[in-house]
Structures are given as C-alpha cells and as structure tokens.
Amino acid sequence: MRNFKTTALLLTVPASLVAIGLYAAPILQVLALSLTEPKFGLANYQSLFANAAVGRVVMTTLKVSVMTTVLTVLASYIVAFAIIHMSAGWRRISLFLVLVPFWISVLVRAFSWITILRRRGVLNSALMEMGVISTPLDLVYNLFGVTIGMIHYMMPFAILLLYANLSDIDRRIMQAARSLGARPATIFWRVWLPLSLPGIALATLFVFVFSLGFLVTPALLGAGKTLMIAEYISVQISSTSRWDLATSLSTMLLLVVGIIVFAAMRSPALRAAFVARPQQ
C-alpha cells in the first residue's frame, strides 16, 4: 500500500523539480531583483510610478486590452451562438474556419495583417484603384492595426471557449420557454444570455489577461509606435539594459494578472467553468 503511493509520488518529482528550478526560481528572481537592483528597497517602484513614459505605456496597454477584450468577446459570442445553431455540416465548416487561424503561427497572422494594412498594402491599393481614396490610409503601425491584429489573434480562443460553454447548456430549457409562449428575443435575453454568463466571464478573463502581457502582435503591428507593456519590458532588457525597470514592471504585471485570476476564481460559477473544461 505505502509502496504504491511512494512510487506514485516519486513519479511526480522530475516534473516538479523542472517547474521549481526552471520556472518558479527564475520568476522569483525577477521579483527579488526588482527590490535589490541596484540597491535594496522600494526605490524602483517609486521611480516606476513617477515615470511618465511608463505611464503612457500602461495607458496604451489598458486602452488596447479593453478594446480588444470587449470587441473580441462580443464578436466571438455572435459566432459561437451561430455555430451551435447550425446543421452538422455547416458547423464542421465553421469550426474549420476557426481552427485554421487557431493553429497557425501568430507570426504568420501578424505578417498577413501587415501585408494587407500597410501603406502600399493590399487594402490601400484596392481602395485607391477603386477610387475610394486618393492617398493611402495609415492602417498599421498604430493603435488601429494593433487592435485589429489582437482581435484576430484572440477570437479563435474565445470562440472555442464560448462554443464549449454554449454546447453544454440544456436545450430543453429553451423548448420549455418557447412552449410557454416566449418570443425568440425574450428567450435570448432571459434564458440564453444568463445561462452563458460563466462562459462569457471566462472568455473575458482569458482575453484580457492574454492582452495585458502580449508581446508578438503589438510589437510587429505597432512597430515601436504603439508601445505596450511587454514590448516596453523587452526594450529594457535587450537594448537599454535597464534591469531595474524591466524587473519592477514585470513584477507589477505579474501582480495584476495574479489579482485578476485570483479574484475571478473566487466566483463559483467561473471556477466550475474552468475546472469542467479539461474533461470535454
């Protein structure tokens, strides 16, 4: 009896050592460095909050993340809701259209958007040939381009989350509502929407947290002009070597993400949605 449990626990040791030594330790070191680089104390955080450049970066990050989250969840809900009402054949086609962008490299997607949106890109050329505009529009390397790219990146995640959640809802409730004389709009607002709130909350949480610390798409589609936190941190470690700034900003980001996830997990409905997910 004891022998079996000991063997089972021993099996968990190698992965645990990797997680502690190669994940927990380096991240704890980031936290430690933010308090000790260059000397011990909270001075880094004082200068962080006084730093106007950091303030601008934080505001940009919040603006892009909130816009991305709201638009992504809204658009994804519309798609997921339509998919669960389709026939099996159309549903397969729709899910295929979601899964291709889901699996394809984020770099390929960023590159596609640059090709479409840049000044001599596909969209500007087409609009100019049609005579809609006479000078090319600035569609990328700004807030607009970053937000479009982020929404495009986040939507497949959100659609799959919402689709799983909506598929779990018992359709007999809608039948009951209909047989009691509720109109389609009433059924949506009074039955579908309240029942899918846990899924919406989960999708919102994931998209917002991913957006806050996202590097690739903002860096490529913002090209240094629309600067978000992750790219700002990357500049501090790779070109200016400001470890004080990089580590204290990383710590703040980790703290914010931790608080959001912790607060969300206190809600029983959300915890249930999160825990139930891997079993599907």
Residues 196-235 that bind other proteins (CB under 8 A): 209, 212-216, 220, 229-230, 233-234
Q: Residue 237 in contact with residue 231, Cβ under 8 Å?
A: no
The least CB distance from residue 49 to other proteins, in Å, is 19
Residue 193 interacting with other proteins (CB under 8 A)? no
The least CB distance from residue 7 to other proteins, in Å, is 4
The least CB distance from residue 112 to other proteins, in Å, is 5
Q: Which is nearer to other proteins, 12 or 134 (CB)?
A: 12
Q: Which is nearer to other proteins, 135 or 238 (CB)?
A: 238
Q: Which of 261, 269, 272, 275 binds other proteins (CB under 8 A)?
A: 261
Residues between 105 and 134 with contacts to other proteins, criterion CB under 8 A:
105-116, 118, 122, 125
Residues between 241 and 260 with contacts to other proteins, criterion CB under 8 A:
243, 246-247, 250, 253-254, 257
The least CB distance from residue 72 to other proteins, in Å, is 10
Query: Per-residue string for binding with other proteins, 39-68, x by CB under 8 A?
Result: ------------------------------
Size of residue set near other proteins by CB under 8 A: 84
Residues between 157 and 186 with contacts to other proteins, criterion CB under 8 A:
184-185
Q: Which of 12, 134, 135, 179 binds other proteins (CB under 8 A)?
A: 12
Residue 5 interacting with other proteins (CB under 8 A)? yes
CA 195, 201, 204, 205 torsion-angle sign: negative
Q: Which is nearer to other proteins, 198 or 230 (CB)?
A: 230
C-alpha–C-alpha distance, residues 188 and 85, integer Å: 13
Of the candidates 69, 95, 75, which has an alpha carbon nearest to the alpha carbon of residue 83?
95
Q: Choose the binding region for other proteins from 14-22, 46-54, 57-65, 130-138 (rule: CB under 8 A).
A: 14-22
Neighbours of 111 (CB within 10 A): 13
Q: Which of 103, 132, 170, 181 binds other proteins (CB under 8 A)?
A: 103
Q: Which is nearer to other proteins, 177 or 246 (CB)?
A: 246
